[in-house]
Amino acid sequence: MIELYELGGADDRRFSNFSWRTRLALRHKGLDFTTRPVCLTDKAAIAFSGGKTVPVLRDGDVVVRDSWQIAEHLERTYPDRPSLFGGPTGRGLCLFVNTWVDRTLVAAAFPALAPDALAIVDAADRDYFRGTIEKFTGLTPEAAKAQQPKAIERLLKAADPARAVLKRQPWLGGETPCYGDYALASVFQWARIVSPVRLLPDDDPLAAWFGRVLALDGGSARATAAFY
């Protein structure tokens, strides 16, 4: 039995972008799993993992934390299921995409949309999350919100290398999706869960690609509680 511990917000919003990488990876592997929503401030619920952050995967007797470690675990444990990486070179390159997403897109997305996310975190997390926004942006959520249009512009510009590639091929992984696609998708999935602002213009090649991600596996990612 596989259990995924992930962030849960108000109205069952599952708003951890890192957990979405894991969700998409589990679906890619065709593995059944149950999810356990955890508040941002509820460290006790995941203390068994030895860490303080989600996602945490419990796969039978094995506990794995950190979305990248979980992806490696799934690839290693279920080699006969569809590959997340497409081989050792693809694994190395997926780590690059994963890191690029973290250091450029997540870094740009947080100041852009976190002020909106304040409305969907659990009531118990609100003060804590307000502090997180202030710590990372140096601004109050209200001041960060006032700069949202500029911050979104920066985010969309940071995504430019992915946009250019997705004009040329349907997935970062070429003809089929790979874990790199899921890392990238996690940012846009987080966006539609935490903010009513439609991030991607319809004519952005990233919008068509993200539509393909949401259509995977019978639309399981589309079906989650989100603004659009």
Residue numbers at the binding site for a second copy (CB under 8 A): 83, 85-97, 99-100, 103-104, 160-162, 164-165, 168-169, 171-176, 178, 180
* Burial environment of residue 130 by CB neighbours within 10 A (0 to 12, 13 to 18, 19 or more): middle
Q: How far is CA 120 from CA 17, 94, 106, 212, in A?
A: 14, 30, 18, 26
Contact 31, 78 (CB under 8 A): yes
Integer Cα distance of 85 and 71 in angstroms: 9
Q: How far is the CB of 155 from a second copy (least distance, A)?
A: 15
**Residue found by looking up tokens 């934390």 in the block:** 65
Integer Cα distance of 82 and 178 in angstroms: 10
Residue 34 or residue 89: which is nearer to a second copy going by CB? 89
Q: How far is the CB of 151 from a second copy (least distance, A)?
A: 19
Question: Max Cα separation, the chain?
Answer: 50
Residue 101 or residue 214: which is nearer to a second copy going by CB? 101
Residue 149 or residue 161: which is nearer to a second copy going by CB? 161
Residue 88 or residue 201: which is nearer to a second copy going by CB? 88
Integer Cα distance of 170 and 187 in angstroms: 18
| Nearest residue to 197 (alpha-carbon basis) of 158, 150, 127 | 150
Q: How far is the CB of 156 from a second copy (least distance, A)?
A: 14
Contact 111, 144 (CB under 8 A): yes
Q: How far is the CB of 68 from a second copy (least distance, A)?
A: 10
Q: How far is the CB of 171 from a second copy (least distance, A)?
A: 6
Q: How far is the CB of 123 from a second copy (least distance, A)?
A: 36
Residue 171 or residue 227: which is nearer to a second copy going by CB? 171
Residue 129 or residue 209: which is nearer to a second copy going by CB? 209
